[in-house]
Chain A
């Protein structure tokens, strides 16, 4: 019963280094998201995807890139890490069953703690 799995959980990067955060979901969800969470700022949407091969910008997309080559995976890339990208990153996925009252329930991963020094 894995749900949404993020790797790695912890990472320290030097300024200018690149890295990729991997998110995998086993619930066959169409939608996937990357959020960052900072003290006093709440969850802010970085990028999201409504299906395999599609991505879109969220509230704070600058400095990040994403790819959704497979339905179950959503990758978040930092090409040149900056200290301002020190944060906790959450991946999430969701579905909507199309009924009027269902809304969109989002399932989150456990988070990835990233420090850029």
Chain B
């Protein structure tokens, strides 16, 4: 079993839809839950992150962590064509923060159609 799993999609939605992107992980030591966004032919960029369980909201984006089920979600409200990108989750532990060994999910490709 991979440490981090994502459905690669592609996921296609109409503009204005609510999008749910999900990730599962197996390592119960993970405490930091990062989401990166990658536009076509570009490097990934940090979108947002949460520490431990719970929700975090940033504009139209909400990150949610359920540590009991090892499930991470990213919700996008009022999706826009400019949200079309690949979204990668990257959970990690404090230990990996120190050692530097950071692993990503496969990424989910999202297309928002006007």
- Please encode chain A, from 90 to 117, with 1 for each CB lying within 8 Å of some chain B CB and 0 for all others: 1010101000111111101111000000
User: Is residue B17 contacting chain A, with contact meaning CB distance below 8 A?
Assistant: no
Instruction: For the complex, give the distance between the alpha carbons of A58 and B44 in Å.
Output: 19
Residues from chain A with Cβ under 8 Å of B44 in the complex = 43, 90, 106, 108
Q: Do B45 and A104 touch across chains, with their CB atoms under 8 A apart?
A: no
Interface size on B, residues (CB 8 A): 29
One of B57-65, B74-82, B95-103 contacting the partner: B95-103
- Please encode chain B, from 88 to 114, with 1 for each CB lying within 8 Å of some chain A CB and 0 for all others: 101010101111111111110000000
Interface size on A, residues (CB 8 A): 30
- How many residue pairs link A and B with beta carbons under 8 A? The number is 76
Residues from chain B with Cβ under 8 Å of A45 in the complex = 101-103
Q: Do B49 and A48 touch across chains, with their CB atoms under 8 A apart?
A: no
User: Is residue A22 contacting chain B, with contact meaning CB distance below 8 A?
Assistant: no
Please judge, given known A-B contacts A43-B88, A49-B100, A50-B99, whether A103 and B45 are in contact too, CB under 8 Å.
Answer: no
User: Is residue A69 contacting chain B, with contact meaning CB distance below 8 A?
Assistant: no
Instruction: For the complex, give the distance between the alpha carbons of A24 and B94 in Å.
Output: 26
User: Is residue A41 contacting chain B, with contact meaning CB distance below 8 A?
Assistant: yes
Q: Do B104 and A33 touch across chains, with their CB atoms under 8 A apart?
A: no
Residues from chain B with Cβ under 8 Å of A48 in the complex = 100-102
User: Is residue A56 contacting chain B, with contact meaning CB distance below 8 A?
Assistant: yes
B35-69 contacts to A, CB under 8 A, are 36, 41-46, 49, 51
Instruction: For the complex, give the distance between the alpha carbons of A4 and B44 in Å.
Output: 12
Say how far B22's CB is from chain A's closest CB, in angstroms.
Answer: 14
Residues from chain A with Cβ under 8 Å of B88 in the complex = 42-43
New A-B pairs, 12, CB < 8 Å, besides A35-B104, A103-B34, A105-B34: A4-B43, A42-B88, A43-B44, A43-B88, A56-B99, A58-B101, A103-B51, A103-B92, A106-B46, A106-B102, A109-B43, A111-B43
Residues of chain A touching chain B, judged by Cβ–Cβ distance below 8 Å, are 4, 31, 33, 35, 40-43, 45, 48-50, 56, 58-59, 90, 92, 94, 96, 100-106, 108-111
